[in-house]
């Protein structure tokens, strides 16, 4: 086993008392929290293991993947090419150590797979090369003597994400056998946390599937927080794999996927960062990922599309996602040191992208045309314009947070207003009732731009454009299949990344049932898919239910290349907290917040998260068959929030009491909720039918 340093006393003092005497990855100092911020019955939904060292739970047959026996148990492999499959029961990743007793000579082979249907003597693909003949293959421990052997994977062969480990024997001797004695996997993700279950946020509701979906997003984000020296090596190997690329400074960094690409992709962080904040709360990994983008900013002000060692370039949309990521990070942390350090570079980035806005249209003309995998990008692409709108809005907040006195916030806000007008003028398809893919007469009405238009407020609910939002929400339904929304800008594909924006679009305008339906179809389908990991969220899949994301349009990847633990698909995790429980931060650190529940078909829901101001939590509970409900919140004193009481499910007028006393002259009408401003603390409200 690896030599490790125990957690430091500082970490113990800083984070609580029930310290487990566990250590972190390699010799890293443990800086993660030691205890969950909100212990409770929901913790049974946490997929993360209780220890940084884990073992498989069962043995499967290679022939048909049915369970042979539990593990630990007996595991005898005899003859060339024979194998046993070890199932960890969920996504894991790291370095395995295997002890075994051999007869004769030969090699112990190890092959890995995230999905059940790519189990075999050849690993699923993490390098994009075709198998067989190229691709990941297997790794071997060659033995020449009978007796006991111990094999530990070398660090470069760290396998970032898998559920199944196939152990097999390659030998020239008919009498050679292997008996597996022990298998232990040192978890390689979230390297600075000794307790992988020390979540800083939680969610719980009356719908167990939604609960598991929330926790599968959270666990995915944990598997995407990786040691900074375990990025995928570039150029990718033709055969085999190497995860020894340098990703960023610091110790831990958020990448796009556990198995691959194992690189910083800021577009993914548009979903992954809000979801991280409400669940595990690991913003150190986010800071290092963003810093790496600033450290590799180009001379023209553009950011790379992906961090090192890949350093993919030329994506205007991902450039803007780095800027939006900066906003989200500072919103959640108020890390003014980070903001000050990078402010000039942020301004340079803003100049770079805004210079692509041309008159007379006033629309952004995209020239860095790489993007999330949509089929077409460039010119006045609507999605890019929606992202620019959000970049300008968030830039205005950043400017005031930075203490800018040169009027930048006003400049950015008026640019956003002008851009919104231009988008609504040139990109809106009035007869159809949704945005086109760009300002030309195209019949493509994309899922990404339309979802973002509503979510980012290019068609605000509280304006004369509100009917556009409702029309978009209805039109989006036409893309739906029984297993998720087909994305028109990448036909035959379902993108849980873009669907993460779609669910938040429906929720933004109160289409709760649509959002919950789409979550259940998409993420529910994957969670229950017997070929999936049962514990994470997948990068994408095809409308025919196979995992060959993007393969229908000329990409030459092996179907097994898809990542089954991709943080960009974790949208339900933040959506359920921010919109269903309804608790979200609006000012830095939650100094201001909103609580605006949406009941949908649920009976109760609650959630919480932490900032340096303290713990924030809230919940609600429908009672008396919808004739009343209770709502509570417990947030730091000194903060201030807007609470919106929804209408009663019974459709009746409701009278309101707060902290046990009648809320004078306040009621919830049959059609309209009630919004009011409140201070922090621990409060509860009951609304009862009149
Ligand atoms: C961990 O520390 C031990 C003892 O100082 C050292 O031998 C070992 O090489 C270190 N491992 C790594 C990965 O740095
Ligand atoms: C699966 O294969 C094993 C042999 O590895 C066999 O014993 C078992 O009957 C098979 N099960 C099914 C359901 O086909
Ligand atoms: C099998 O025999 C060949 C030829 O002697 C040798 O090159 C090879 O390494 C052997 N393979 C194993 C797994 O022992
Ligand atoms: C799982 O994979 C197998 C093998 O590819 C396939 O036959 C089966 O239909 C898949 N199951 C689902 C639910 O997709
Ligand atoms: C170990 O065994 C594997 C499988 O037979 C073989 O491909 C590889 O070349 C062997 N490695 C060494 C160093 O002998
Ligand atoms: C080999 O390992 C097995 C299982 O751990 C153990 O029972 C046995 O005593 C070991 N043999 C030797 C020679 O160390
Ligand atoms: C680490 O920081 C230095 C100094 O800012 C920078 O030059 C270097 O590129 C960074 N390394 C990585 C991997 O981002
Ligand atoms: C707009 O972008 C396209 C590439 O997407 C480029 O060919 C064209 O010259 C640009 N137009 C202007 C006015 O910059
Ligand atoms: C507009 O969008 C359609 C659909 O994506 C695409 O085929 C067309 O090339 C785009 N035109 C311009 C000028 O961007
Ligand atoms: C954020 O940090 C700045 C600078 O330290 C401070 O002035 C401001 O009050 C902080 N905001 C909050 C909400 O704590
Ligand atoms: C909901 O409220 C009822 C009545 O106050 C209470 O008995 C029940 O425990 C609550 N349930 C939850 C999940 O809060
Ligand atoms: C509450 O909403 C009102 C109206 O939109 C707004 O003026 C006020 O600033 C909000 N308060 C907080 C704490 O966000």
Domains detected in the chain: 53-187 (2.60.120.260), 202-579 (1.50.10.10), 582-689 (2.60.420.10)
State the Cα–Cα distance between residues 203 and 619, nearest whole angstrom.
Answer: 9
Please give the structure tokens belonging to residue 48. 């993360």
State the Cα–Cα distance between residues 455 and 514, nearest whole angstrom.
Answer: 14
Above 60 in pLDDT, residue 4?
Answer: no
Minimal-distance CA residue to ligand 2 atom 13: 66
Please give the structure tokens belonging to residue 226. 């990786």
Above 90 in pLDDT, residue 9?
Answer: no
How crowded is the C-beta side of 547, counted as CA atoms within 13 Å? 24
Q: Which atom of ligand 2 is nearest to the CA of 61?
A: 5
Q: What DSSP element (H or E) covers 290?
A: helix 283-295
27 lines ligand 1 (CB under 6 A): yes
Above 90 in pLDDT, residue 492?
Answer: yes
Above 70 in pLDDT, residue 54?
Answer: yes
Beta strands 58-60; 83-103: pairing state:
antiparallel
Q: At what angle do helices 466-476 and 496-508 cross, to 10 degrees?
A: 140
Q: Give residue 76 CA to ligand 6 midpoint distance, Å.
A: 15
Please, which pLDDT band fits residue 473 given cuts at 50, 70 and 90?
A: very high
Please, which pLDDT band fits residue 671 given cuts at 50, 70 and 90?
A: confident
State the Cα–Cα distance between residues 91 and 156, nearest whole angstrom.
Answer: 20
Q: Which atom of ligand 6 is nearest to the CA of 182?
A: 5
Q: Give residue 181 CA to ligand 1 midpoint distance, Å.
A: 27
> 224 near 288, Cβ under 8 Å?
no
- Site to probe by mutation for ligand 10, drawn from 336, 400, 637 as the one with most ligand atoms within 8 Å of Cβ, is 336
Give pLDDT tens digits for 559-614: 899 999 999 999 999 999 999 999 999 999 999 999 999 999 999 999 999 999 99
Above 90 in pLDDT, residue 135?
Answer: no
More confident residue, 550 or 159: 159
- What mean pLDDT do residues 84-89 have? 98
State the Cα–Cα distance between residues 562 and 50, nearest whole angstrom.
Answer: 27
Please give the structure tokens belonging to residue 128. 């994009």
Dihedral sign computed on CA atoms, order 379, 380, 384, 385: positive
Residue of 43, 50, 15, 17 lying closest to 30 (CA atoms): 15
Please, which pLDDT band fits residue 552 given cuts at 50, 70 and 90?
A: low
Above 90 in pLDDT, residue 455?
Answer: yes
Dihedral sign computed on CA atoms, order 391, 392, 393, 399: positive
Please, which pLDDT band fits residue 415 given cuts at 50, 70 and 90?
A: very high
Minimal-distance CA residue to ligand 10 atom 12: 588
Contacts of 467 (CB under 8 A, 6+ apart): none
- What mean pLDDT do residues 423-428 have? 98
Quick check: bond before 72 cis, omega within 30? Answer: yes
State the Cα–Cα distance between residues 173 and 156, nearest whole angstrom.
Answer: 30
Q: Give residue 621 CA to ligand 11 midpoint distance, Å.
A: 6
Q: Give residue 365 CA to ligand 8 midpoint distance, Å.
A: 6
Q: Give residue 35 CA to ligand 8 midpoint distance, Å.
A: 53
> 229 near 272, Cβ under 8 Å?
no
Q: According to the model, what pLDDT value does residue 556 have?
A: 54
Three-state secondary-structure class, residue 37? coil
Q: Which atom of ligand 8 is nearest to the CA of 358?
A: 13
Q: According to the model, what pLDDT value does residue 666 have?
A: 85
Q: What does the buried/exposed string (b/e) look like for 5-27 if buried means 16 or more CB atoms within 10 Å of the residue's CB?
A: eebeeebeeebeeebbebbbbbe
Above 90 in pLDDT, residue 646?
Answer: yes
Please, which pLDDT band fits residue 628 given cuts at 50, 70 and 90?
A: very high
> 616 near 608, Cβ under 8 Å?
yes
- What integer best gives the mean pLDDT of the chain? 94
170 lines ligand 5 (CB under 6 A): yes
Ligand nearest to the CA of 586: 12
Please give the structure tokens belonging to residue 573. 């995790």
343 C-beta neighbours (distance < 10 Å), count:
17
Residue of 617, 593, 194, 550 lying closest to 372 (CA atoms): 550
Above 70 in pLDDT, residue 22?
Answer: no
Residue of 9, 277, 241 lying closest to 126 (CA atoms): 241
Q: Which atom of ligand 3 is nearest to the CA of 142?
A: 13
- What mean pLDDT do residues 639-663 have? 95
> 167 near 108, Cβ under 8 Å?
yes
Q: How far apart are the first and last CA of the chain?
A: 67
Percent of the chain, pLDDT > 70? Answer: 95
> 320 near 388, Cβ under 8 Å?
yes
Q: Which residues line ligand 12 (CB under 6 A)?
A: 586, 592, 640-642, 677
Q: What DSSP element (H or E) covers 8?
A: none
More confident residue, 558 or 676: 676
DSSP 611: E
- What mean pLDDT do residues 76-82 have? 97
Above 90 in pLDDT, residue 38?
Answer: yes
Contacts of 296 (CB under 8 A, 6+ apart): 303, 304, 307, 308, 311
Q: Which atom of ligand 3 is nearest to the CA of 170?
A: 13
Give pLDDT tens digits for 343-383: 999 999 999 999 999 999 999 999 999 999 999 999 999 99
3 lines ligand 1 (CB under 6 A): yes
Ligand nearest to the CA of 338: 10
CA 662 to each of CA 476, 605, 650, 651: distance values in angstroms, whole numbers, following the listed order: 42, 24, 20, 21
Above 70 in pLDDT, residue 132?
Answer: no
Above 90 in pLDDT, residue 532?
Answer: yes
90 lines ligand 10 (CB under 6 A): no
Q: According to the model, what pLDDT value does residue 129 have?
A: 78
């Amino acid at each position: 086993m690896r030599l490790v340093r125990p957690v430091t006393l500082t970490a113990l003092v800083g984070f609580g008392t029930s310290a487990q005497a566990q250590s972190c990855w390699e010799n890293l100092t443990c800086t993660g929290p030691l205890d969950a911020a909100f212990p409770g019955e929901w913790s049974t939904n946490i997929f993360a293991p209780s220890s940084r060292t884990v073992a498989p739970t069962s043995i499967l047959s290679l022939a048909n993947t049915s369970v042979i026996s539990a593990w630990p148990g007996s595991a005898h492999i005899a003859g060339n090419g024979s194998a046993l499959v070890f199932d960890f029961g969920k996504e894991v990743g790291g370095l395995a150590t295997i002890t075994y007793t051999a007869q004769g000579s030969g090699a112990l082979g190890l092959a890995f797979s995230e999905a059940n249907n790519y189990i075999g003597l050849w690993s699923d693909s993490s390098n994009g090369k075709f198998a067989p003949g190229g691709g990941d293959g297997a790794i071997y421990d060659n033995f020449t003597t009978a007796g006991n052997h111990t094999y530990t994977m070398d660090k470069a062969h760290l396998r970032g994400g898998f559920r199944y480990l196939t152990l097999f024997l390659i030998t020239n001797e008919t009498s050679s056998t292997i008996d597996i004695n022990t298998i232990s996997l040192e978890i390689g993700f979230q390297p600075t946390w000794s307790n992988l279950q020390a979540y800083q946020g939680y969610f719980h509701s009356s719908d167990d599937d939604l609960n598991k979906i929330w926790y599968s997003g959270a666990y995915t984000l944990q598997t995407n927080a990786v040691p900074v020296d375990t990025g995928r090596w570039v150029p990718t190997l033709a055969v085999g794999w190497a995860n020894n690329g340098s990703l960023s400074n610091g110790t831990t960094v958020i990448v796009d996927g556990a198995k691959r690409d194992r690189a910083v992709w800021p577009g993914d962080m548009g979903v992954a960062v809000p979801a991280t904040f409400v669940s595990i709360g690991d913003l150190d990994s986010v800071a290092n990922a963003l810093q790496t983008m600033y450290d590799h900013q180009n001379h023209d002000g553009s950011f790379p599309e992906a961090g090192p060692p890949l350093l993919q370039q030329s994506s205007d949309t991902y450039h803007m996602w780095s800027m939006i990521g900066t906003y989200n990070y500072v919103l959640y942390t108020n890390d003014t040191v980070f903001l000050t350090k990078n402010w000039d570079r942020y301004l340079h980035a803003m100049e770079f992208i805004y210079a692509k806005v041309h008159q007379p249209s006033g629309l952004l003309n995209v020239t860095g045309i790489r993007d999330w995998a949509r089929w077409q990008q460039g010119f006045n692409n609507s999605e890019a314009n929606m992202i620019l709108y959000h970049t300008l809005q968030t830039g205005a907040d950043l400017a005031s947070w930075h203490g800018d006195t040169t009027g930048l916030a006003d400049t950015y806000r008026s640019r956003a207003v002008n851009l919104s007008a231009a988008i609504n003028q040139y990109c809106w398809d009035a007869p159809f009732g949704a945005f086109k893919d760009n300002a030309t007469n195209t019949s493509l009405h994309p899922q990404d731009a339309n979802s973002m238009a509503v979510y980012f407020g290019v068609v605000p609910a509280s304006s004369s454009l509100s009917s556009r939002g409702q029309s978009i929400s209805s039109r989006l339904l036409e893309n739906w299949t029984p297993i998720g929304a087909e994305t028109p800008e990448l036909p035959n594909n379902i993108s849980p990344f873009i669907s993460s924006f779609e669910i938040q679009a429906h929720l933004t305008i109160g289409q709760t049932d649509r959002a919950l339906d789409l979550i259940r179809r998409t993420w529910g389908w994957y969670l229950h898919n017997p070929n999936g990991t049962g514990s994470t969220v997948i990068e994408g899949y095809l409308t025919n239910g196979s995992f060959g994301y993007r393969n229908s349009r000329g990409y030459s990847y092996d179907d097994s290349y898809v990542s089954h633990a991709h943080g960009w698909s974790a949208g339900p995790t933040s959506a359920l907290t921010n919109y269903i429980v309804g608790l979200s931060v609006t000012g830095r650190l939650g100094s201001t917040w909103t609580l605006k529940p949406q009941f949908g078909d649920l009976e109760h829901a609650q959630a919480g998260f932490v900032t340096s101001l303290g713990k924030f939590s809230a919940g609600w509970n429908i009672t008396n068959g919808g004739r009343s409900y209770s709502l509570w919140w417990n947030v730091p004193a000194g903060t201030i929030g807007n609470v919106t009481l929804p209408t009663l499910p019974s459709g009746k007028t409701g009278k309101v009491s707060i902290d046990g006393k009648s809320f004078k002259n306040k009621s919830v009408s049959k059609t309209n909720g009630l919004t009011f401003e409140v201070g922090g603390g621990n409060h509860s409200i009951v609304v009862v039918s009149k």
